[in-house]
Amino acid sequence: MQKVVPVVMAGGSGTRLWPLSRKLFPKQFLPLMGEQTMLQDTLSRLGSDAANPIVVCNDEHRFNVAEQLRQQGQKAANIILEPIGRNTAPAVALSSYAALSEGADPILLVLAADHVIRDEKAFQSAVQLATASAELGKLVTFGIVPRSPETGYGYIKASTISADGTGDVEQFVEKPDLETAQSYLADGNYLWNSGMFMFKASVFLEELEKFRPDIAQATKAAFDGRRQDLDFTRLDEAKFEACPDESIDYAIMEKTEQALVVSLDAGWSDVGSWSSLWEESEQDEDGNSLRGDVLAYESKNNLLFSDHKLIATVGVENLVVVDTPDAVLVSTKDKVQDVKKVVDRLKQEGRSEATIHREVMRPWGFYDSIDKGERFQVKRITVNPGEKLSLQMHHHRAEHWIVVSGTALVTINDETKMVSENQSTYIPIGATHRLENPGVLPLEMIEVQSGSYLGEDDIVRFEDTYGRE
């Protein structure tokens, strides 16, 4: 059997799961259904024998992807950075060129990083069935056996679905109204469009050249101009930005004569809203899905998600309540699709809650903005063992560092010194400085900033281990 290479699409912002999912830390990087994140779940269900994946993600998410792969022991993954989103057809084209550049023509298993699949055995069986067809030159898509007349998904119409669960694709159809969705369910030959695919890298590119040569040429030029940056593959930005924005469905699958659908009945969901997360989550005897520090009294059919503080409800039904350190969402379950409108409003007003959490991940660890005023900001900083921040300076702020636990190696201008627990140091405005953790345990410290401007863009980097500008 031919080698199968997983290709994971890890872009997207997941705005309908705000305030937990945000632009710089969207739902694929969150542990929504268990201990692992959705990206990690996607890779885990492939099994221990799976080939090293190709992951396509936004440039701003690169360190999140690398860290989550490292946690799973995936050190040899190929992480392709898109300077701008251009939809699934260009992303898969890049992955195809990357796979072929290794000297083989593998079968690509294209997956989204943010789907829930409960029955892993059924999923793996469907993949085996699709692999056999992909080896014969078919472009396989996975259609989900519908459980209800869903109006939030597109559908795939098969000519007929055979006993083994495969069928020739007759038509891709857009999201229907309820009456049309009910007719699709009664018909029996309509499946939900999952956005998962399987095909040989060379076959995909041949069909792309046939139907969308503009995308094929633009992505080839962007990939040929690539450069390696640590664990990441960076494209020729200008050439990739010139690439059209198009999905696989529109670019190829609706046009090709080689499209085949494999039906999948494996407890699939794209978890596109808080109500769908409630449906997929474990519930208590009153139908409540509870996460974190929650007390629900005489309350039914709620999703109550605490990331920070105690949530207590009394006598409420069909609500979604989501607590994070800097925002709280309260909505009825039937209105959660409008959460995106809240995010749009936050963006219009230039508010940071649309983009970042109070706790922000960095390649060296993370920081939590504990308090902020007109001319001060307090952060709790955690630096992972052996990591270090960039050598930098600030034009508008001074900093005071207090070590809570661990040991810090601090550089200020030409002086380097060790700072231990309960000790502190001061960095004046304009001083060149660096913070390192030389130990084997995390370094925990408090940073107090003071000055006329405290934005993250007041950083001038002179040297950086992680290649940031």
- Residue 82 reports pLDDT greater than 90: yes
Asked, for residue 81, whether it belongs to a domain, the answer is: yes
Tens digit of each residue's pLDDT (9 = 90 or more) over 225-274: 999 888 899 999 999 999 999 999 999 999 999 999 999 999 999 898 99
Tens digit of each residue's pLDDT (9 = 90 or more) over 41-51: 999 999 878 88
Asked, for residue 421, whether it belongs to a domain, the answer is: yes
- Residue 418 reports pLDDT greater than 90: yes
- Residue 399 reports pLDDT greater than 90: yes
Tens digit of each residue's pLDDT (9 = 90 or more) over 172-215: 999 999 999 999 899 888 999 999 999 999 999 999 999 999 99
238 shares a domain with 130: yes
pLDDT, position 48 = 77
pLDDT, position 1 = 59
Tens digit of each residue's pLDDT (9 = 90 or more) over 125-174: 999 999 999 999 999 999 999 988 988 889 999 988 888 888 999 889 99
CATH of the domain at 112: 3.90.550.10
CATH of the domain at 424: 2.60.120.10
Tens digit of each residue's pLDDT (9 = 90 or more) over 286-326: 999 999 999 999 999 999 999 889 999 999 999 999 999 99
Asked, for residue 351, whether it belongs to a domain, the answer is: no
- The answer to whether 325 and 357 are in contact (CB under 8 A) is yes
Domain final position from 224, 247, 269: 269
315 shares a domain with 173: no
Phi, psi (rounded to 5 degrees) for 213: -60, -25
164 shares a domain with 244: yes
292 shares a domain with 242: no
Tens digit of each residue's pLDDT (9 = 90 or more) over 430-442: 999 999 999 999 9
For residues 101-110, average pLDDT? 92
pLDDT, position 76 = 64
Asked, for residue 450, whether it belongs to a domain, the answer is: yes
DSSP string, 327-380: EEEEEEGGGGGGHHHHHHHHHHTT-GGGT--SEEEETTEEEEEEEE-SSEEEEE
pLDDT, position 451 = 94
164 shares a domain with 102: yes
280 shares a domain with 218: no
pLDDT, position 415 = 96
Rounded to whole angstroms, the Cα distance separating 34 from 10 reads: 19
- How does the average pLDDT of the chain come out, rounded? 93
425 shares a domain with 305: no
Asked, for residue 445, whether it belongs to a domain, the answer is: yes
196 shares a domain with 95: yes
Domain final position from 249, 269, 289: 269
Domain that holds residue 169: 4-269
Domain final position from 225, 246, 269: 269
Asked, for residue 352, whether it belongs to a domain, the answer is: no
111 shares a domain with 72: yes
- Three-state secondary structure string covering 144-199: ECCCCCCCCCCEEEECCCCCCCEEEEEEEECCCCHHHHHHHHHHCCEEEEEEEEEE
Q: Give the global pTM.
A: 0.88
236 shares a domain with 89: yes
251 shares a domain with 232: yes
Q: Which two tokens stand for residue 202?
A: 């060379």
Asked, for residue 469, whether it belongs to a domain, the answer is: no
- The answer to whether 29 and 114 are in contact (CB under 8 A) is no
Confidence of residue 397 (pLDDT cuts 50, 70, 90): very high
For residues 71-88, average pLDDT? 87
307 shares a domain with 248: no
* 21: Cα within 13 Å, side-chain hemisphere: 25
Phi, psi (rounded to 5 degrees) for 65: -65, -50
For residues 73-102, average pLDDT? 91
Give the list of residues 6+ apart from residue 190 with CB closer than 8 angstroms, or none: 146, 155, 156, 157, 158, 173, 184
Asked, for residue 453, whether it belongs to a domain, the answer is: yes
Domains of the chain: total: 3
